[in-house]
Chain A
Amino acid sequence: MKCGIRIFCFLLCLLFLIPSFASCNREKRYAKEFFFMDTLIGVTLYAKTKAAADEGFSLCQTLLSELDDRWSKEKSGSLVDRINRAGTESFELDEDSETLFATALAVSQMSGGAFDVTVAPLVDLWADAEEKQELPTKEELLEVLACVGYQRLTLQDHALVKTDPNTQIDLGGIGKGAAISILIAKLSGLELSGGLVSFGSNIAVFGKKPDGSPFRVAIRDPFDEQGTIGTLTLSEGEVLSVSGDYERYVEIDGVKYHHILDSKTGYPAESGLSSAVVVARDGALADALSTALFCMGLEESLKLYEASNCPFEAILVGKDGSIHPTDGIKPNFQSE
């Protein structure tokens, strides 16, 4: 038994060991979809075992169900339903809801009401309009706008105080962002190497992909359903949120009216932007700000970006097709 045979035996071992070692240590991709808050949620997890991925999916199911029960305005008995049905009352908040409302009121204030969590009556009016196939009248809009205004909500001692009985809340512009942040924080604590969660127009990532490459998200072109305006690299814990006039809409008499409503006019916002992309570490902030920037338009949005200490970056796409990334996002954004 000499050297040649020994080498042969050693390499024979390698023949079986290299692939099995590689596959044992390689994380696999697992994906599952959920449907909560009227929205499709896609969860992709990278894990070494199916059991670890299943634990992640089980956590998603439980957590999303809890948040839906708490924040859906359509669910009888939810926190939002109770607030909307009540007169002038104070509502004790759990930690997640308190954080959400604090962010909602902060973004409402810094955007001068461009984002407003009290737009529920306006959203309902446009939903009724689609049902009846009749545009809302000016009188109807004025009547509803009289009930809209974030100033009628305040936070005091872990409680939300409603000072006007007509005030109604809709978390459509912030709830999904808040939920996605809570979700990835919990998923990060499990035995998963990384993952990506998409929740409507919010996308969040955590950990790493098995090949070590960064998560890359393409941004859809508002003017071409098949095209993209570029690709953005997301880092651990970042949330991307998009608000665009091409996403959801109501159709009345064959005309499409997009879903982002201007809380000042009552009509779909017309600010000169076709989409606003925001990246932040706080999902609620990213979600609310994308709505706010879309309503504010390019100039006001850039002023807010430069003036505020708020940690966010953005890509604003004008109706003329112009693309405006903020300074901090430029190194991570590769345009088409």
Chain B
Amino acid sequence: MFSTKPNLRDGLVALVVLFFALLLLFLPMLVRSEGKTLVITTADSTKEYDLSISRTLEIESNGHHLTIVIENGAAYVSDTDCKDKVCLHTGKIRESGEVILCVPAGVRILVKGGKSNVDFVAG
């Protein structure tokens, strides 16, 4: 004979099931990486670098040379032989979604990942 009234065990099962449902709902937010990555795409390849580790990168792409510096959680192009120098004038990028682009060299430098309380840095 089954009881028609929910008992303590039913309540526990309900709680466990709800816990897993909510865990599934919020899991993507919990596992999201806090660290920021610099993604450098050249004419030939795409490479990722930890933005928290300072280093200087020498990049060759489409016959152009770029020097990219990563320091203090930011990245910038410190030198290029490209005539336009747009990438050089872009300055430092450090917020997720910020980009430096060199069209003649076919180079795209993007910050991704991390959490930010702003949608964009203007200026």
Contact = CB atoms under 8 A, between A and B. Distances in A.
Interface of B: 2-7, 9-10, 13-14, 17-18, 20-22, 24-25, 72-74, 84, 86, 89-92, 94-95, 97, 99-101, 103, 108, 117-123
A277 interface: yes
A4 B9 contact: yes
Nearest to A1: B2
A2 B3 contact: yes
Interface of A is mostly: strand
A11 B13 contact: yes
A217 B95 CA distance: 11
A33 B6 CA distance: 57
A212 interface: no
A14 B15 CA distance: 12
14 contacts: A5-B2, A11-B17, A18-B22, A33-B101, A33-B108, A35-B101, A40-B99, A198-B122, A201-B122, A203-B120, A209-B119, A216-B119, A218-B121, A231-B117
A14 B123 contact: no
B83 to A, nearest CB: 10
A21 to B, nearest CB: 9
A216 B119 CA distance: 5
A42 interface: yes
B41 to A, nearest CB: 11
A248 B6 CA distance: 71
Contact of A220 (B20, B72, B119, B122): B122
A307 interface: no
A74 B99 CA distance: 24
Nearest to A215: B119
A275 B123 contact: yes
A11 B16 CA distance: 10
Interface string A232-247: 1000000010101011
Contact of B122 (A1, A4, A15, A240): A240
Nearest to B20: A15
A196 B120 contact: yes
Interface in A1-33: 1-5, 7-8, 11-12, 14-15, 18-19, 22, 31, 33
A222 interface: yes
- Among A15, A196, A216, A244, chain B packs the most CB atoms within 10 A around the CB of A15
Contacts of A240: 122
